[in-house]
Amino acid sequence: MKKWFTLRRILIALGAVFALIQLIPVDRSNPPAVPENDFLVQTKAPENIAQIMKTACYDCHSNQTVYPWYSYIAPVSFWLKNHINEGRGELNFSEWNAMSAKEKSHAMKEAAEMVKEGEMPMNSYTWVHKDARLTIQQQEQLAAWFSQVRGGGAETEIESHRD
Ligand code: HEC
């Protein structure tokens, strides 16, 4: 009897904590996304590249994040928002124009590597967003596009003699 009583108290306490953390605000507003500053617009990306990136990168690396229903439930909301802040901090495709030539070049090199190595999009993202799982072919298309934007022509190799 005593044991059940304690368990009940623990569950009530947990329930209260869960209810209370829902009150902590999470900013889900997107900063303005100006088309003229956008990577896909600026680089005149072909439609297939734009499709892949909007599906697989733009939720974390742009100001066009689409927030799913579970982004409204704490603590998942905190965790997602953290990824979005971190992702935008590393590379924000909506603010491509604000980057220097050097930053752009570096970002494209990193992006090609990340995609080829299967590190981006993040695993925790593709578990839920199955349509963001890239095929080998899509990985290669993206990496080739990033290399091309970087100025390496059609090269798809990760290791470049310029590095
Ligand atoms: C779920 C959110 C999410 C998605 C989707 C996502 N990223 Fe990221 N990305 C992050 C986070 C968080 C970081 C910073 C931490 C890290 O490097 O793991 C990051 C880092 C990066 C970096 C910087 C790496 C470095 O070390 O310099 C690049 C480049 C990148 N991502 C490219 C992409 C590309 C390209 C896509 C789409 C194919 C993509 N990401 C999809 C969240 C995401």
End-to-end Cα, the chain, rounded Å: 69
Which pairs with CB-CB distance under 8 Å and at least 24 residues apart come from 9-15? none
Distances (CA, A) of 154 to 10, 52, 142: 60, 18, 11
Say if residue 31 is preceded by a cis peptide, omega within 30 of 0. no
Question: For residue 92, how far is its CA from the centre of ligand 1 (angstroms)?
Answer: 10
- At residue 2, the pLDDT reads 67
The mean pLDDT value of the chain amounts to: 92
- At residue 5, the pLDDT reads 77
- At residue 28, the pLDDT reads 96
- At residue 70, the pLDDT reads 96
Burial (CB count <10 Å: 0-12, 13-18, 19+), residue 96: buried
Residues of the chain above pLDDT 90, percent: 88
Residues of the chain above pLDDT 70, percent: 91
- At residue 157, the pLDDT reads 44
pLDDT value at 75 more than 60: yes
97: Cα separation from own chain's centroid: 19
**CA gap 72, 160 in Å, rounded:** 43
Identify the band that residue 1 occupies on the pLDDT scale cut at 50, 70 and 90.
low
Burial (CB count <10 Å: 0-12, 13-18, 19+), residue 142: buried
> Among 60, 92, 103, 141, which is best to mutate for testing ligand 1, by the most ligand atoms less than 8 A from CB?
60
- At residue 160, the pLDDT reads 44
Which residue's CA is the closest to the ligand 1 atom numbered 33?
Answer: 120
Q: What is the pTM of this model?
A: 0.89
Q: Domain ranges in the chain?
A: 2-150
Mean pLDDT of 61-69: 97
Q: Return the minimum-mean-pLDDT range out of 6-10, 21-25, 88-92.
A: 6-10
Residues 117-144 pLDDT 10s: 999 999 999 999 999 999 999 999 999 9
Residue 154 structure tokens: 């059609």
In whole angstroms, how large is the CA radius of gyration of the chain?
20
Which residue's CA is the closest to the ligand 1 atom numbered 26?
Answer: 110
- At residue 152, the pLDDT reads 56
